[in-house]
Chain A
Amino acid sequence: MRFVSSRVWLTVLYLATGGFVLAGTMAPFTFLVVDGLFSPARPSGFGQDGATLLVLARRSLFLAVAPAMLATLLAMAASSLASLYAPFRTFYRRWFYTVLFTNPVFLVLGMTVLLNRLPSELAVTLASWLVLMPLVALPIQAAVDQAPATELLAARSLGASSAELVRLHLIPAIGSTAIAAFGLATVFALGFYLLPTFVGYGHTPTLGSAIDAAVNRLGDNKAAAQLGILLVGLEVCLCAAILMLVAVRAMLHRAR
């Protein structure tokens, strides 16, 4: 009897929390679809012709992929250095945990000052890189920590240099994680609108900043929802490409 009642309680708990979590995370997105596809248009003067959208999408993609790539490469370099050099490892871990604990939006201000003399696209790329860095660093560092220590020690005792150790053993071991981290960072960066607005001084409008403008300045929910759907579409294409890359890498690895 006690067993049955505990099973019932558990089921109720699961239905309540699961339903709440799913409703909380998924319900908002139905508004995106309803607003974007079915609500009546509201003329706001917000330019949405094909050419404008293409420019916005291309710039958004560039300003997401470039900093994500930069962050992934630097996180791989930093994690490799951290695995070989103890003082740097201590510093690096503390740095990315601190920045991760406090939302990197606070770096926006510092970077607005630091980068205000650079061309706006370059400034936004560099600022986005720094914001993405802890997000990418965490999984890559975890993958480095889990790299087979015996293999690294064996390679070292057989005379491999530090560079060879990193190139031939560490990087292949963390490759898939690095690709996944790159994908996650790119998706995250696709939705940035504060950095293009503040660091780029509004000279680099992206899909994110266009959504911000449509909602907060023009009150045009339909246009914003359509741009949001475009952004999600871009994200899906990007994720598909990254998944294909991971699959091809796994196939090549198996063939070898």
Chain B
Amino acid sequence: MTRMPLISQVLSFCLALVLTAPLVLLALLSLSPTTGLDFFSDPIHASIDWWHQLLFEPQWLSALTTSLLIASLSTPFAVVIALPLSCRWRLYRDKVALAILIASATVLLFPPVVVALSATRLLQAVGLFDTVLGVAFVHGLMSLPVVALLFVSRLEARPIGTFEAARALGALPIAAGAAWLLAEHRATLVGAIAVGVLTSMSEATVTIFVTDTAVRPVTREALSGLTQDMSPTSFAAFSVWLLGAGMASLFLEKFLHRRPTNHDSH
């Protein structure tokens, strides 16, 4: 690592500014005193009304509850499939497990709007259109490759000594695997759950297609708000909350990753 010339430092600063500007703008917008998208017309009278509304308005609370319910169904779905397959690949180099994980990424190879359209027709055909279960199924399918990618990359980064030692001492594969995961990969488990929940809560492209009036998760509520001029600033407040949650889960994961385990101290 060497000291950079001034021009590179200026370039880095400008790039950082361009990358963060929309996020900062979003945060400022959530402090707007009006309902419109015109924060800059009156930046002096900032207010936290939209944050308050987000927590107390029944419409938003209901949307938030629906989103959390969907996330709580889709995340276990993704984790329960991705975790054993990733462990099989890491511990036994099982190519079938890897092939299934790669197949799960098929959904990412198509443009999102095509996935949305196809998912809508599938859910209509099986009678799950505009239901929590239907949305959770689609979100689970979309979270699965993301969670799998996280598991595969993180499990690869740590040794499997704990697992091999437990097996040598006569532990069953599942018990040895669980001991290894808890000793080495608590941070990865937390990270995968956070990724699953955040992916589901912030998914909008497919959600708008597969929901109508019965199920209104927060992204649908928010984007309808943009077109119907309901309260887009609440959406800004929610977005900032979600970005904050994303950053917090990053820090939590990093903290757990650094914390020495019992295994390390021995």
Contacts and interface: CB of A to CB of B under 8 A. Distances in A.
B54 interface: no
B194 interface: yes
B202 A103 contact: yes
B144 interface: yes
A231 B9 contact: no
B205 A191 contact: yes
B196 to A, nearest CB: 11
A101 B117 CA distance: 24
Contacts of A121: none
A111 B37 CA distance: 11
Interface stretch (B42-50, B58-66, B107-115, B256-264): B107-115
B113 A208 contact: yes
Interface in A50-99: 74, 77-78, 81, 84-88, 91-92, 94-95, 97-99
A22 interface: yes
Contacts of B117: 32, 211, 215, 224-225, 228
B8 A103 contact: no
A99 B199 CA distance: 11
B22 A107 contact: yes
A105 B115 contact: no
A191 B111 contact: yes
Nearest to A142: B153
A120 to B, nearest CB: 16
Contacts of A103: 198-199, 202-204
Contacts of A116: 37
Contacts of A221: 121
Contacts of A27: 122
B26 A208 contact: no
A25 to B, nearest CB: 4
A56 to B, nearest CB: 13
A101 B194 contact: yes
Given A28-B121, A231-B111, A102 B103 contact: no
Contact of A231 (B26, B39, B114, B125): B114
Nearest to A116: B37
Interface in B1-55: 1-2, 4-5, 8-9, 11-12, 15-16, 19-23, 25-26, 29, 37-39
Nearest to A208: B113
B113 A32 contact: no
Interface residues of A, number: 71
A193 to B, nearest CB: 5
A21 B81 contact: yes
Interface of B is mostly: helix
Contacts of A18: 96, 99-100, 103
B219 to A, nearest CB: 7
Interface in B62-112: 81, 84-85, 96-97, 99-100, 103-104, 106-107, 109-112
B12 A88 contact: yes
A27 B246 CA distance: 32
A168 interface: no
A113 B195 CA distance: 28
Nearest to B149: A138
A142 B176 CA distance: 31
A81 B26 contact: no
A130 B22 contact: yes
B189 interface: no
B180 interface: no
B232 A85 contact: no
Contacts of A81: 4, 8, 11-12, 15
A22 B249 CA distance: 31
Given A77-B15, A101-B195, A109-B29, A228 B114 contact: yes
Given A95-B19, A191-B115, 5 more contacts: A26-B106, A85-B1, A106-B239, A215-B120, A231-B111
Interface of B: 1-2, 4-5, 8-9, 11-12, 15-16, 19-23, 25-26, 29, 37-39, 81, 84-85, 96-97, 99-100, 103-104, 106-107, 109-115, 117-122, 125, 137, 141, 144, 194-195, 198-199, 202-205, 208-209, 219, 222-223, 226, 232, 235-236, 239, 242-243, 245-247, 249-250
12 contacts: A28-B115, A31-B121, A32-B117, A81-B4, A85-B12, A98-B23, A101-B250, A110-B23, A116-B37, A188-B112, A212-B113, A215-B209
**List of 5 A-B pairs having minimum Cβ-Cβ separation, nearest first:** A191-B111, A28-B118, A103-B202, A101-B246, A31-B121
